[in-house]
């Protein structure tokens, strides 16, 4: 099979199964030189975030229509990735669902999966999931303040003392 290596790489992404990987390869191919970058591919597929700004105020914009077959396959994969446990995509999906809703979260995760696919097909690498704790490790101070506020709202007094290194 001529696309077996690319198919194997795409199957390493959480939420992407054989039919989704085959659809992605059928729609965009394995040669990424036709796209200027990951943002160009996402825009072509219709998975880039919309941009509506008026009088300096940013409002939610609709994503363009793009390639409907690729978009549907990636949004389906995003919903499946959001239901996996202990992965970066699942944690990001859960956080986005709380703020933006399930459909917008699925489109956002589909965008992240497509960007990962672009880099995997360009570099020839496998998917490396940073894990569910990655988002918490990005900003430890913000996470600790959020947890302190939650405990204070439950009626606990919290005092943080740093550990000796």
Q: What does each of the 165 residues of the chain score in pLDDT, given as a tens digit? A: 678 889 999 999 999 999 999 999 999 998 899 999 999 999 899 888 777 778 878 777 677 788 899 999 999 999 999 999 999 999 999 999 999 899 999 999 999 999 999 999 999 899 999 988 888 888 888 888 889 999 999 999 988 887 876
Residue-wise burial string across 113-134, b where 16 or more C-beta atoms lie within 10 A, e elsewhere: bbbbbbebbbeeeebebeebee
pTM for the structure as a whole: 0.82
State residue 72's pLDDT score: 93
Question: In what helix (H) or strand (E) does residue 118 lie, and over which residues does it extend?
Answer: helix 102-123
Whole-angstrom Cα distance, residue 32 to residue 122? 6
Kindly give, in sequence order, each residue whose CB lies less than 8 Å from that of residue 31, ignoring residues fewer than 6 positions away. Answer: none
State residue 163's pLDDT score: 81
State residue 93's pLDDT score: 95
């Amino acid at each position: 099979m001529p696309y077996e290596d690319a198919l194997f790489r795409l199957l390493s992404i959480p939420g992407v199964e054989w039919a989704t990987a085959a659809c992605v390869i059928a729609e965009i191919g394995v040669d990424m030189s036709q796209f200027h970058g990951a943002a160009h591919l996402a825009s072509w597929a219709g998975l880039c975030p919309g941009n509506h700004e008026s009088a300096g105020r940013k409002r939610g914009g609709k994503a363009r229509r793009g390639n409907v077959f690729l978009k549907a396959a990636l949004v389906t994969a995003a919903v499946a990735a959001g239901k996996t446990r202990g992965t970066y995509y699942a944690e990001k999906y859960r956080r986005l669902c709380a703020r933006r809703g399930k459909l917008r979260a699925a489109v956002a995760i589909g965008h992240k999966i497509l960007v990962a696919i672009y880099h995997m097909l360009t570099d020839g690498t496998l998917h490396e999931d940073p894990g569910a704790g990655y988002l918490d490790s990005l900003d430890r101070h913000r996470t600790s303040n959020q947890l302190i506020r939650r405990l204070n709202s439950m009626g606990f007094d919290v005092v943080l003392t740093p550990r000796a290194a």
